[in-house]
Amino acid sequence: MVPVGLGPGKMDNHPSNSSAFGSEFEMSGRRTTSEFEMSGPRIPFDFTLKTSVRYTNCSNVRCHRSFATPPIDASCNLYSLSSIDGATAQVKFYKSLHSWVYPQSSLPASVVSVLASSAGKEEAHFWLKRQQDWEDSLRSLYYMLRKNICNMFYVYTVQFVALFIGGNLLGKKKRSCIAYVSQSTRGLRSLLRKNKINFTMPLGGVEVEHSIDDDLVELMEIEKRKLGQIFHLSSSMENVDNTSRSLLSFSGHEEVQSLYDILINYRKTLHSFTGSDVPVLFAPVPFQNATLHVPEMTCKETRKADMIFTSSSGSNTSDAIMIPPGFGGLCFSVELKDTIIPPWVVYGVWSAMSAGGTSFQSLLRTDPLSLGLNVALKSVCSEVQDGGASGLPAAIMNPSLSGAALQQLKFSDGVYTANITPIL
């Protein structure tokens, strides 16, 4: 569940950074890295999607070597646990890896083209059923969101990521909904206006021109051919489309419902999606037609060095995890890779690995399509809050992270140290 809580979280500024967290980089346009510390078991929550997360532990190799194989009883008892608090670190770790997705795997464009144009009865039936199952899945997720059964889910498309969030936002007693589209084009915004759907562009995008109906048709045809590339744009918008600056925000049940209507009818409304497979749905809880999904995991044991490089060439120092003095001679690393790794997986693994005070470092790679989604933090909370109300008691929700993404996270002596990079 999304960590929407009410209680204030405690945050300490890093000794080397006396300015308030976020003030030196937020919306500044400088891609400098900022660092801050959190005392106690406080884990920062990042709404962006990851493609890889690497965890390195050099303080207790024997403890985390067990993560290389699932616990013997995990297959039987993993999902029946009502809470992971009383479970072993090993079971916590494997429980945290799971997400629910539909479809289980995406079809390449060449296969979609064959299925969509096939005159064969079986092929046509398969393709129509896949589309219908997807619509049923999205409908299931959306009504679970409205009924407080699921507090967050993602719709991953070929052009953008849509994030839906529900809860007592900004500490209000009445449940509400918000949604975001990670990046947009002029054609999509014109379509929303044509359907009288209100939205804002909170990351600095400014729309100058409103397209008439004839322009809308032309724009959608261009996007259909070029996946969103627009020509002859006004100078103020030419560098906005298909970037995080063009992120769209939808607030309130009515506007979120309207975005949902656009997405569930995407075959009729979003013509630029023609030739693509159905978007992928991600949620932390089961929904209709969903399957359980676990990212690919690689475990390695290495000798201690001054630094461990995550790139194959070892030449990019920005990809290096520094090993501080005092660690033992062996290091154990766990690397998760997938097309998409959602935030509840990242949070869950951090929580499991820090159990018992074990030190580790982690390096994250963010999916570029999801950059900007941390702007949701400003709607979820108005100040630093924890996520105790939603079952993630150690999660920190800080609106200052709204203009950045987590790059590294370290845990040592009970303290988390986060490195964040601005997105603009």
Residue 327 pLDDT? 46
* pLDDT tens-digit series, residues 362-374: 999 999 999 999 9
Residue 128 pLDDT? 92
Give the residue with greater pLDDT, 220 vs 316.
220
Is residue 4 within 8 Å of 397, Cβ to Cβ? yes
Residue 56 pLDDT? 86
Is residue 131 within 8 Å of 281, Cβ to Cβ? no
Q: Is the pLDDT of residue 332 over 90?
A: no
* pLDDT tens-digit series, residues 6-23: 233 333 333 333 233 333
Query: What tokens appear for 300 in the block?
Result: 């390695």
SS3 content of the chain, % helix, strand, coil (to 5): 35, 25, 40
User: Residue 388's pLDDT band (boundaries 50, 70, 90)?
Assistant: very low
* pLDDT tens-digit series, residues 33-74: 677 776 666 788 899 999 999 988 765 444 444 454 554 443
Residue 220 pLDDT? 58
Q: Say which residues have a Cβ less than 8 Å from residue 380's Cβ, sequence separation at least 6.
A: 2, 4, 165, 167, 169, 170, 178, 397, 399
pTM of the model: 0.78
Least confident of 117-121, 174-178, 204-208: 204-208
Residue 55 pLDDT? 87
Could you tell me what percent of the chain has a pLDDT over 90? 37
What is the number of other CB atoms lying within 10 angstroms of the CB of residue 30? 9
Residue 65, judged by CB atoms within 10 A of its CB (0-12, 13-18, 19+), counts as middle
Give the residue with greater pLDDT, 228 vs 206.
206
CA-based nearest residue to 287, from 408, 136, 405: 136
Return mean pLDDT, the chain.
75
The dihedral built from the CA positions of residue 216, 221, 225 and 227, taken in this order, carries a sign that is: positive
